[in-house]
Structure formats: structure tokens, C-alpha cells
Amino acid sequence: MHEASLAGGVLRLVEQTAQRERFSRVARLRLEAGALAGVEVRALRFALEAIAPGTVLEGAVIDIDQPPGQAWCMDCSMTVAMAQRGDACPHCGGYRLQPTGGTELRVVDLMVND
């Protein structure tokens, strides 16, 4: 389950930010896990909630948005929506798609308490 290591990375990033920006608690953490990022959102949420006690994330509301995937079709030269890797282009049926969006896991913002 690589979501546990992803959760650890998110926690490290948030704790480094807390130290740099001098806050002690996160009230709300908002993440984006794109549809093509290969992240199981429920497992990531579970992992974050499991490691939160005793950290700056303890008691934080965790929101995880899931933006859709996008790809550039090399056959018809169009940007198309892509639900999952391996899908065909909805315009031409081609499979030569280069993902251009929805592939990232990122911290969008934090609401913090002093």
C-alpha cells in the first residue's frame, strides 16, 4: 500500500511548513489526487488519519479533491478527458495518448491555527 508512504510524505511536508511558518495545528488540509495519479483516495485518507495523532495534523479535516485526467491525443491532436490510463481517445479511438493533467498528488492549501 503505497498510500501509507504518500501520507508520510504529506505529513513531512506539512510539518516542515509548520516549522518554517510557525504554526502548531492544521485545521483543514486540502489535497488533490488526480484521476491518473494512481492513488487510492480512501486508502490515502485512512493513512493520513492513522498517522495524524500527536502531529500537526491531529484533528484536521482532510479534503481530497480528484480532478479528472486529461491527455493529448497524438493521432487527432486534441486534448481529451481521460478517466483512466489505457482508455482510447473519445474523438478518434486512438490509443496514443500523452497524459497532461490529473497525474499529480499535491497539497492545495492548509487552514492553520497558531
CA distance 80 to 100: 10
Q: Looking at residue 1, what is its pLDDT?
A: 55
Q: Looking at residue 114, what is its pLDDT?
A: 75
Question: Domain of 12?
Answer: 2-68+102-113
Residue 107 maps to a domain: yes
Order of all β-strands in the sheet with 25-33:
61-65, 25-33, 105-113
Residue 108 maps to a domain: yes
The count of domains in the chain is 1
Residue-wise burial string across 63-78, b where 16 or more C-beta atoms lie within 10 A, e elsewhere = ebeeeebbbbbeeeee
Residue 15 maps to a domain: yes
CATH number at residue 15: 3.30.2320.50
Residue 10 maps to a domain: yes
Split the chain (114 residues) into runs of 10 and give each run's mean pLDDT: 92 97 97 95 97 97 96 97 92 96 96 88
Residue 93 maps to a domain: no
Residue 83 maps to a domain: no
Q: Looking at residue 103, what is its pLDDT?
A: 95
**How much is the pTM?**
0.86
Residue 84 maps to a domain: no
Residue 53 maps to a domain: yes
